[in-house]
Amino acid sequence: MQQRILVPVNFTTASARALAVTRAYHPGAVIRLLYVVNPSDIASATANPVINPTHARDERSKAEDEASRRLATWQRDDEEQAVAVGNPAETISDQAKQWKADLIAMGTRSRTGFQQFLHGSATEWLVRHADQPILVVHDVDLAEEQKRHLPPVGDNPA
């Protein structure tokens, strides 16, 4: 039976590294790339104190479509992709359960102190609460073998 690995991505260098390491060390695995649209990002993008429900749905749909388009640039032919909406950490955990992932592989930007307090960390939450093992890829230089598995990085929204 093939190992199923969920790789949450946010199109940062950290998530690109996690995907590259996963591809390099788990060549026979079924890999699913997941992007989570955070509802608070959609609400802040509307910049309207009274959000029109139709406008909010349109913004959500646009965000999901854009995420799908960008995931396609990272995804290989033998990989899957998914887009979900919700709190990133909890949604990643829920998606991993629903998809029956054996492993969650994700990058971290190693925030500490006030930045960590202010922004929190989906990775940290998942390490504490997810039902699956978590592979955390730190923001370090990759070996040449791993670099050839990197997706294109740029035009970063995060």
Q: Does residue 35 contact residue 28 with C-beta atoms inside 8 Å?
A: no
Domain membership of residue 46 (yes or no) is yes
35: Cα within 13 Å, side-chain hemisphere: 22
Residue 96 lies in a domain: yes
Q: Which two tokens stand for residue 139?
A: 């923001």
Q: What phi, psi does 2 have (nearest 5°)?
A: -75, 145
Nearest to 123 by CA among 2, 9, 41, 1: 9
Give residue 70's pLDDT. Answer: 96
Residue 78 lies in domain: 4-147
* CATH number for the domain that contains residue 62: 3.40.50.620
Highest mean pLDDT among 48-52, 64-68, 140-144, 147-151: 64-68
Number of domains within the chain: 1
Is 143 part of any domain?
yes
The pTM (predicted TM-score) of the whole model is 0.83
Task: Tell me how crowded residue 59 is: count the other CB atoms within 10 A of its CB.
Answer: 19
Whether 111 is in a domain gets the answer yes
76 belongs to a structural domain: yes
153 found inside a domain? no
157: in domain: no
Residue 31 resides in a domain: yes
Q: Kindly report, residue by residue over 77-134, the tens digit of the pLDDT.
A: 999 999 999 999 999 999 999 999 999 999 887 655 544 444 457 888 898 999 999 9
Cα angle for residues 71, 84, 109 (degrees, 5° grid) = 65
The b/e string for 108-131 (b: 16+ C-beta within 10 A; e otherwise) is bbeeeeeeeeeeebbbebbbeebe
